[in-house]
Amino acid sequence: MAPGESIVDKFRLHGRVALVTGGSRGIGRAIALSLAEAGADVVLASRNLPDLEAVAHEISQKGRKALPVSANVRHLAEIGNLVKKAVDEFGRIDVLVNNAGTNVVFASIFSIDEAAWDAILGLNLRGYFFLSQAVGKVMRESGGGSIINVTSVDGIRPRIGAGCYSISKAGIIMLTQVLAQEWGQYNIRVNGIAPGVVRTRFSEALWGNRVIRERTEDSAALGRIGEPEEIGGAAVFLASEASSYMTGHTIIVDGGHFSSVRTLLSTIAPKK
Ligand SMILES: NC(=O)c1ccc[n+]([C@@H]2O[C@H](COP(=O)([O-])OP(=O)(O)OC[C@H]3O[C@@H](n4cnc5c(N)ncnc54)[C@H](OP(=O)(O)O)[C@@H]3O)[C@@H](O)[C@H]2O)c1
């Protein structure tokens, strides 16, 4: 570190521009607000513009600029338009957070039809791939950047009943490794965040079900599910110089979820 420079300075994002997909609510909104608090201006993308405008207002109250852009990141034309608007407004993109994701069905593999496969993989994997490709070109021109792919613990350990989603999230972990290897030469770092169950609209089928929630809480070392704000710290770390020697890896943020070990232990040492 240079004399007079503090480790805290390495987490600062002043003068940086971040693009966050799914920035209107849940984990994406929390990440966007965290990046803005660390100093970044933020381009927010999702399909519903009024929701984005509300988050943009929160960011402007923190003294940062925000550009809300309505974009369905399944579609290449909308990806192109999104990146063009970001560059027209700010001239650069330093941080990309691929976050908008979906799971349209809880079903066994035999029940997954082509439409469900296309809906899940089309957003979770194809969308991440082509937005990374478009933003990667901008970053290569400007000398580098940081890409953060929000995956899931379900991409590491399969979630039965959400097999297609698990496959898509495992694909994101490999996408992260491939991009990191290809783009290290351009000073573009690519890392992932794998959350466990976090309280958002997306995961309400899990935490809104008492039995599933209690099983999830019991199998986490911290004994609870996560809040969206608890993902923001990992995002600021990966976006910033604090992680300057890290690429190709995925940080797990799941409250210490080791289901088989804890479930076994709870049978012989029940909670008081
Ligand atoms: N919550 C969890 O427990 C959990 C755990 C592990 C991983 N994750 C991952 O975290 C990410 C965010 O999930 P979340 O829980 O925050 O979900 P959420 O609260 O439902 O938010 C999803 C966001 O994505 C946007 N979006 C959905 N489809 C889109 C599309 N086609 N194009 C552009 N934007 C789109 C939504 O806005 P619009 O609907 O207006 O477009 C919204 O802003 C996902 O990748 C998810 O797989 C979540």
For tokens 């076994």, name the residue. 264
Q: Answer whether residue 2 is part of any domain.
A: no
pLDDT digits (tens, 9 = 90+) for 154-209: 999 999 899 999 999 999 999 999 999 999 999 999 999 999 999 999 999 999 99
Give dist(CA 46, CA 261) in Å, integer.
39
Asked if residue 242 belongs to a domain, the reply is yes
Beta bridge partners of 20: 44, 97
The answer to the question of residue 133 being in a domain is: yes
CA–centroid distance, residue 22 to ligand 1 (Å)? 5
How much distance in Å is there from the Cα of 149 to the middle of ligand 1? Answer: 12
The answer to whether the beta carbons of residues 48 and 65 sit under 8 Å apart is no
Residue 7 counted as domain residue:
no
Report the residue among 19, 20, 25 best suited for mutation to probe ligand 1: largest number of ligand atoms under 8 A from its CB: 25
- The count of other CB atoms within 10 Å of the CB of residue 14 is 10
Looking at residue 2, what is its pLDDT?
Answer: 74
Where does the pLDDT of residue 272 fall: very low under 50, low under 70, confident under 90, or very high at 90 and above? low
161 located within any domain: yes
- Is 265's pLDDT higher than 70? no
pLDDT grade for 262, boundaries at 50, 70 and 90: low
- Does residue 64 form part of some domain? yes
**pLDDT by residue (tens digit) across 65-102?**
999 999 999 999 999 999 999 999 999 999 999 999 99
pLDDT in the model for residue 193:
98
CA angle 249, 250, 253 (to 5 degrees): 150
Q: Give the chain's domain count.
A: 1
pTM for the whole thing? 0.95
148 CB within 6 A, ligand 1: no
Give the CATH number for residue 259: 3.40.50.720
pLDDT at 12 over 60: yes
Residue 270, pLDDT > 80, answer no
Please state, in angstroms and rounded to a whole number, the distance separating the CA atoms of residues 28 and 77: 22
Best substitution site from 46, 169, 257 to test ligand 1's pocket, by max atoms within 8 Å of Cβ? 46
State the closest ligand 1 atom to the C-alpha of 169, by its place in the atom list counted from 1: 47
Look-up of token digits 């405008």? 53
pLDDT in tens, 216-261: 999 999 999 999 999 999 999 999 999 999 999 999 999 998 655 5
Write phi, then psi, for 211 (nearest 5 degrees).
-65, -45
Tell whether 258 is covered by a domain: yes
Domain membership of residue 196 (yes or no) is yes
The ligand 1 atom at the shortest distance from the C-alpha of residue 73 is: 32
Give me the domain span that covers residue 221.
12-268
User: From the CB of 200, is ligand 1 less than 6 Å away?
Assistant: yes
* C-alpha 213 – ligand 1 centre gap (Å): 20
Q: Whose CA is nearest to atom 2 of ligand 1?
A: 198
Would you list the DSSP string of the chain?
A: --TT--HHHHT--TT-EEEEETTTSHHHHHHHHHHHHTT-EEEEEES-HHHHHHHHHHHHHTT--EEEEE--TTSHHHHHHHHHHHHHHHS---EEEE--------B-GGG--HHHHHHHHIIIIIIHHHHHHHHHHHHHHHT-EEEEEE--GGGTS--TTBHHHHHHHHHHHHHHHHHHHHHGGGTEEEEEEEE-SB-SSTTHHHHTSHHHHHHHHHTBTTSS-B-GGGGHHHHHHHHSGGGTT--S-EEEESSSB-HHHHHHHHHHS---
100 pocket-lining for ligand 1 (C-beta < 6 Å) = yes
Active-site positions read 165
Report which protein residue has its CA nearest ligand 1's atom 43: 22
User: Whose CA is closest to atom 34 on ligand 1?
Assistant: 46
Q: What is the pLDDT of residues 93-137, one digit of tens each?
A: 999 999 999 998 889 999 999 999 999 999 999 999 999 999 999
**C-beta 46 within 6 A of ligand 1:** yes
